Amino acid sequence: MPSDTPRRTRPIVASISAAALRHNYSALRAAAGMETLAVVKADAYGHGAALCAPELVAAGARWLGVTSVDEGIAVRHALRGAAADIPTHILVMCGLWQGEAGACLDHALTPVVWEPYQLHLLQAEGERRALPSGSVPVHVEIDTGMARQGVKPGAALHDLLTCLQTTPVLRVDGAMTHLASSECAADPQNTTQMDRFRQALEQVQRAGLRPAWVHAGNSASLDSGLMPHALPALAATLGTRPMTRTGVALYGYALPLESAAPHVEPHLRPVLTWTTRIVSLRDVAAGSTVGYNAAFVAPRPMRLALLPVGYADGFRRALSSSTHQPGGAVLIGGRRAPVVGRVSMDLTVVDVSDLPDAAIGDEAVLIGSQGAEHIGADEHARLANTSMYEVLCGISDRVPRVLS
C-alpha cells in the first residue's frame, strides 16, 4: 500500500553534526564561565531546531531561546523525546501576542515581556486556571539603547513595575537587555548600555523584586570578552545569577571583531554541511551561451555539470557569474568548481573542465569542507553583500536537515 508521506529523494541535504554542535556549546559555556542560554530561534539559524535542541540540552544547556510561542512549542515537542527527563527552560525572546498565553502556559514557556498588555494576557489566563501567586515566570526586557523591544528605564519601567503589582500570578524570574554593538568591545555604546542596565536593575530592586537571573549579550559579546567580564560583576552587586546568550557561534560562526583583540577564542566547528550531487554533464563549444539572458558566454570549450539546487533552496542568485564577473563556487573532488551563468530557481551550472573525472552522482559541497578546501556561509554572505545569519536562515525548508 503506497505511503501518504512522500520520501525525500532529491539529492540535496544539509547534514548537521551533533558532535560539532555539542563541542561548540561546551567551549562557549567554558569561555563564558556562567550559565549560557543557547539560541535556537529561526529553526536554529537554519540548522533545524528539532535536531539541535536535544543535542544542546545533552551538552548541558538548560536554557534555550526561541523567537515566538509557536517556535517554543515545536522545541518543547522535540525535547519530549531524547531530552524528556532533563529540566529545560525555553525563553520566548520576542514576547507573546493575543491568544498565545494559554499555549505559553501549556508548554511551560517563559515569555519575555515589556508591554503592560502582555502582563494582562498572562494574568487573565492564570486567573482562568486558578493558578497560585507567582506561578508564571516572566523575563522583563530593558531597552538600554536598541530602541527595538523592551521597556525604557525610568518612568516607563516604573509603570510596568506598577502593573506587575496587579498581576500576582506572574513572577519576575529574569531581567535582560540586548547590546547593539557587541562585536566592537571598545564601542562606548556598550558601556552606556550596561550602565543603563545596572540602573534599571536597581530600579527593579527598589520595587521589591529580585529576579533570579540577569542576562545580556550574544555570540560577539562573549567572543570579545565583554560579557565574561561585565555581567558576573553586575550580578554579584545585585545578589542574583548571571546568564549570557549565544546564537550563531553555536553553529560554528563568529562576527569579525572590531577595535579590540578577542579576549576568548573558543575553537568553533561549523555544524552544517550542505551538499548536492551532479545530475547531468555536458560539453559546450567556445561561444556557447549558458543560462538565463546569456549572461555567460563560454570563452573556450568547457565541460559543465548540472546541480539540482537553486535560489528556491537558498543557494543565492547573487552567486551567479557572467562572462566578465566571477561568482560563487562549489567543491567537487576536493577542488573548486565555479558557478557558470545565472543561478536559477532550481538548478545551477558549474564548470568542471579541470575535473576530468567528474561523473554523474559525484558529491558537490555548497557549504562545508571537501579535501583541503572549505566554503563557509560567510563566503556566500560576502558575495551576496549580506550576513552569514541571512545565508544560514535562508536555506529553505525543501532542503532536508539530517543529524550526522
Identify whether residues 242 and 277 lie together within a single domain. no
Shared-domain flag, residues 333 and 214: no
Whether 144 maps to a domain, the answer reads: yes
DSSP string, 62-76: -EEEESSHHHHHHHH
Report the distance separating Cα 315 and Cα 154, nearest Å.
47
User: Rounded to two decimals, what is the model's pTM?
Assistant: 0.94
Lowest mean pLDDT among 102-116, 216-230, 386-400: 216-230
Segment 349-353 mean pLDDT: 98
Which of 117, 253, 292, 311 is flagged as catalytic? 292
| Strand pairing category for 302-307 and 280-284 | antiparallel
Inform me whether the pLDDT recorded for 131 exceeds 50.
yes
Same domain, 287 and 351: yes
Q: What is the pLDDT of residues 358-394, one digit of tens each?
A: 999 999 999 999 999 999 999 999 999 999 999 999 9
**H helix runs in 68-167, sequence order:** 69-79, 101-106, 116-128, 155-164
pLDDT tens column, 266-305: 789 999 999 999 999 999 999 999 999 999 999 999 999 9
| 136, 221: one domain | yes
Please report where in the chains the cell 552544517 appears, as a residue.
Answer: 272
Q: What's residue 185's pLDDT? A: 66
Query: What is the CATH classification number for the domain harbouring 313?
Result: 2.40.37.10
User: Whole-angstrom Cα distance, residue 178 to residue 180?
Assistant: 7
**How does the average pLDDT of the chain come out, rounded?**
93
Query: Are 320 and 206 within one domain?
Result: no
pLDDT band, very low/low/confident/very high, at 218 (cuts 50, 70, 90): confident
Q: Are residues 201 and 292 in the same domain?
A: no
Task: Please give the residue range of the domain that contains residue 347.
Answer: 272-403
Which residues are registered as beta bridge partners of 37? 245
CA 121 remoteness from chain centre? 28
Q: Which residues contact 215 (CB under 8 A, 6 or more apart)?
A: 35, 37, 139, 174, 175, 176, 231, 242, 243, 244, 245
- Residues 244, 312, single domain; the answer is no
HSE-CB for 250 with a 13 A CA cutoff: 35
Are residues 175 and 118 part of one domain? yes
Classify residue 61 by its DSSP letter. Answer: -
| pLDDT value of residue 219 | 81
Q: Is residue 9 part of a domain?
A: no
Q: How many domains does the chain have?
A: 2
Residue 311: active-site member: no
Instruction: Give a yes or no: residue 265 inside a domain.
Output: no
DSSP notation for 255-271: PPP-SS--S--------
Which has more pLDDT, 81 or 46?
Answer: 46
Residues 301 and 190 in one domain: no
Residue 89 has pLDDT above 60, yes or no: yes
Q: What is the pLDDT of residue 257?
A: 63
Task: Return the ∠ at Cα 129 (arms to 128 and 131), rounded to 5°.
Answer: 115
Locate 383 and state its grid cell.
558575495
CA angle 392, 91, 32 (to 5 degrees): 75
CATH number at 162 reads 3.20.20.10
Tell me: do 198 and 337 sit in the same domain.
no
Residue 98 lies in a domain: yes
152: annotated active-site residue: no
Q: What is the pLDDT of residue 254?
A: 87
Task: Give yes or no: residues 342 and 229 share one domain.
Answer: no
Q: Output the pLDDT for position 130.
A: 98
> Is pLDDT at 318 greater than 70 in this prediction?
yes
Tens digits of per-residue pLDDT, 93-104?
A: 999 999 999 999
Scored b (16 or more CB within 10 A) or e, 379-403 reads bbbebbeebbbebbbbbeeebebee
Where is the domain boundary, 184, 219, 251? 251
Task: Check 25, 41, 45, 251 and give the catalytic one.
Answer: 41
Specify the range with the lowest mean pLDDT, choosing from 227-231, 236-240, 253-257: 253-257
